[in-house]
Structure formats: C-alpha cells, structure tokens
Structure 1
C-alpha cells in the first residue's frame, strides 16, 4: 500500500515513518518546513513544503499517485492563525469557510477537504500501537489522598476542555484549576501552572470523548518531563489507551530521576 505521511514536528511522525519502513510500506513523506525533522529522510522519499502551500501539496500527491494519507506531528495552531497572509489561495479560501478556527475544526476540515480531492485518511495506530499507554501504567506511585483527589478532578476538567476543543491539558492544585491549555500549547500551559501554582502541581492530559485516532491524539515524552521539572510540577496523569508515549525507556528513567509521578487513568 502506498502511504503519504504529512509530517509536522515532534517524534511521532518519525515513529510512524520508522514503523512503516520496517513493514516495507511504500512511503512518501510530505515534510513541513521549519517543523519536521530531517531524520525522516531515512525512512522514505521525503519532499519539503511550507504549510502555506496547500495547492502544491495536493498537486504533488496526485502526481505521485498517493491516495492513502496519514497526518502526524505538530504544526503550531498559532502559526496557522497568525500567518494567514502567507497562505496560498487554496488555504485562505479553505480557512475562510470555517465556522470557527479551533484545532479540531481546522484538522477535521483539512481531512474533509483532502477527502473531497479523492484522498483517504487511514488510522495510524496499527503502526504506533506499541506507543499507546495502557491502563495501569505507573511510575513513582503516590498515596497522598489530596493528590489523588486532584488527579480525579483534573482529569474530569481536562476531558471537558478537550470536548470543547479548547485544549487537552489542565494544571490543578488543591482542587483549583491553575492553568488551562489554549492556543499556546501544552508546554506553556504547564509553565504557567508552575508560575501561578508554585511547586507540586498536578498536570492532567486527556483525549476528546470521541477521539478520532487519525489526528491530534495526545502525546507525551521526555520533553514533557523537562517542562514539568522546570515548573516544579509533581504529577502527570494521562488518559489510558488514548495517549502516545515517545521514547518509553528514556521517559521512565527521566521520571524516576526527577521524582515525577506518572499515571494512566481510565476515563
């Protein structure tokens, strides 16, 4: 099967590309300039485009006879919103038609737009199933009743803001919501939580209730722990079976080194 990977930043596109390569898939990579990692070139034919070049990307994929698509990795939501003047005519027309410009609205509409051109988006999880965090995943157990209450509370609030498509992450402490992820992204939300909440905050991250596994699935990795250490956060709670964990061994070692509790929660 010929697969086209539209790759933004982060480790997830590389993990998919490596898995597809190991499965001998015919992979064509559309790497987004200033976002995607050059290492992608190891795993398939890689072609670089700006995220502003919507029509060029569509024309190229058709020329290459690529019909099955996967879209992974981050392209900053703020980059799309605040660089509207740089978009090509196709992208401007597409964005102008949206009823709102929340992340889910944009991503879901991109899929619909490309499907209207004859492309099919496939579920990438069969290539990434080893990265999904199972229920019961736990590093550095904690038995503090107040902390566990914050986890339960924070996961509930995170699920509500995810369903509203505001963000995926909240920071809580002592039953108070300290920070909510918006357009700035998870890392800055965690740092803001540390700024206002001080030490020992609880970071909670969930998927949407009806998460489409083809795009915008929650992801954590060692960088998440680095940001939490900087913010002096104490606990990371994530949704089981709906969150990807990158570089697992490195992540576990780093969590133990920093004394950060990590737990998966069934929602």
Structure 2
C-alpha cells in the first residue's frame, strides 16, 4: 500500500497449508513490523506452522474461520502453502457457517485447480476481505530475472529451456500443471496431478532405466505460472528438495518464471544449486531466451 508503513497496514491473516513458506512469510512480516494472524489448515500445515498458529481449523469450519477473522479484525487474507488434496464433501459439513455457504463452496470444488483457487478467492472477497499475494507482502521471495546462483547455463541448455517453457505454456492453457522437463531437445516429462516432486522422481527412474540418455548432466526443469493465472495463489515454487530431485534426475539446471515464481528457503536453495554446479535462473516468458 503506497504511503502506508507495514506497522500501519491492516492486520493480515495467513491461511496456511503445508511446506515451509507460511513460516517464511510470517518471519518476513514480523521483521517489518506487520501485524498478522496465522490460521493453520488441519491435516495440511506442518508442525512448525502449527506451533506458531493462532488457530487451527479444518475444511468444515468455514463459519469458525470467518468468526476468527472478524474477532481478530483481519482485513486482508493471504493464502499460502500447499494443499495436498481437495476436501471431500463429508469434510465440509462442519458448522452452521459452512452449511449456510454450502452451495457456493460446492461450486468452488468443481473445475480445475485454477478455477478452484479463483473461486476460493471469491469466497473471501464476497465476505469483504481483500485477498493479497506474495508480491504484495513479501516480494523478496519471488525469483528475479537472470542467473540466481553462481552457475551459468551453457549454450546447449537454452534450447531445452525454450522447449520446456513452450510445454509449460501448453500445460497451463489446459489447467493441468506448471512444470516440464526437457533433455537434449526433447520434452521428457510433463507435470500432472502428481506434482513437481513426483515428476522429477519419474525422470530419475527413467534415466536409471536408460529411457533418458544424456552424457553427464543435461536437461532442465522449467516452472511457470499458468497463462492468465491469478498470481495471488498457487505460484510455482522451487526449494531445496527441488534441487535434490533435479540432481537425482541428472538435470543441468532449473528455470523459473521471474517475478512469478517463489524461491522457498532461498539461501539454502541457491547454496545447494551452487554446490552441485546446477544452474538456477529466472526467465521472462515474453523475452527472447537466446543468450547474448
């Protein structure tokens, strides 16, 4: 917010799923003096997030969630962290506040992931809350343009980057996934419902079986936001585990969308990439990828 210091900004609620990002966001907000509350999603938030949470609520406790937000005078909401599974219909029959909104909630459960997230945002906005994104509260966690570590992509790597980038754009148009792997000028894996980690493990298995043939480290993982995706939720992210899995898959590097992808545990992620001589770069999908 222009002209407003973090200490003067409205109190924000972090609706926290799994992974390390909720705690990283909380640390960033605390460092700036921004007032916040953490609501951990039961069955999703990890132990570190649960330990810092001001409330822990399940999928069927929408009424309790809105009462918590009102009681704590939260005006803004940030949806952060992963959600490993969609709630089933039995899990959203928790309290009167949930039942009252049940038709809207059921509609939100239909459609692809992008449709779901857009409708979840609308649920909060219909209640009068402003839904914000990482770029609004912690832009330092987003990838910048260019080489993020010490390792430069080689000339041959750029062809794989461009090819995998085109593949992610097609995936995004179909609301399927955000990531693809290209090796030696060929797309070898596309992200589906299994997620990036499982896709990279599949690549490692294929390499062991000889289905992916390359001399030394070769190929690249590319992760980008879907075209027309609401960047307030479900940003593509990489972290230390992504680096480990890319190494196991024999890849030469990782490329993520600049200003549209998260680098979780940034210092550790970059240090791991450097130690493994793995390049990590931020790319702009609208620019020429040919190196100068």
Shared fold (TM-score greater than 0.5)?
Answer: yes
The corresponding residue for 2:242 is: 224
User: In structure 2, how many angstroms separate the alpha carbons of the residues matched to 1:80 and 1:99?
Assistant: 8
Which residue in the other structure is 2:73 paired with? 65
How far apart, CA to CA, are the structure 2 residues paired with 1:265 and 1:24? Answer: 32
In the alignment, what sits opposite 1:175? Answer: 185
- Counterpart Cα distance in 2 of 1:55 and 1:171: 42
- Cα pair 1:193 1:201 within 8 Å, conserved: no
Within 5 Å, which residues of 2 pair with 1:92-111?
Answer: 93-98=103-108, 100-111=110-121
Match of 1:255 in 2: 273
The answer on whether the counterparts of 1:15 and 1:128 sit within 8 Å (CA) in structure 2 is no
Cα distance in structure 2, aligned partners of 1:33 and 1:168:
26
Residue matched to 1:135? 145
TM-score, length basis structure 2: 0.80
Q: Which stretches in structure 2 are left out of the alignment for 5+ residues? A: 1-9, 286-292
> Cα–Cα, structure 1 residues 106 and 29, in superposed 2: closer, same or farther, change >3 Å?
same
Q: After the TM superposition, which segments of 4 or more aligned residues of structure 1 sit over 6 Å from their partners?
A: none
d(CA) in 2 for partners of 1:210, 1:8: 23
Paired position in structure 2 for 1:84: 89
Say if 2:163 is the partner of 1:163.
no
Structure 2 CA distance, aligned partners of 1:180 and 1:132?
A: 23
When normalised by structure 1's length, the TM-score is: 0.87
After superposition, give the CA deviation of every residue in 1:34-91 in whole Å (9 maximum; x if it has no partner): 3223434676x61111234333322322333322111111011xx216x333232638
Name the SS of the counterpart of 1:236 in structure 2: strand
Asked if 1:124 corresponds to 2:130, the answer is no
Runs of 5+ consecutive residues of structure 1 not aligned to the other structure: none
Count residues in correspondence: 262
- CA contact under 8 A between 2:168 and 2:224: conserved in structure 1? yes
- Greater alpha carbon shift after TM alignment, 86-95 vs 119-128: 86-95
Corresponding residue for residue 49 of structure 1: 57
Measured on the aligned residues, the alpha-carbon RMSD in Å equals 2.4
Question: Which segment drifts farther, 20-29 or 98-107?
Answer: 98-107
Change (3 A) 1:52 1:178: farther
- Matched residue SS, 1:80: coil
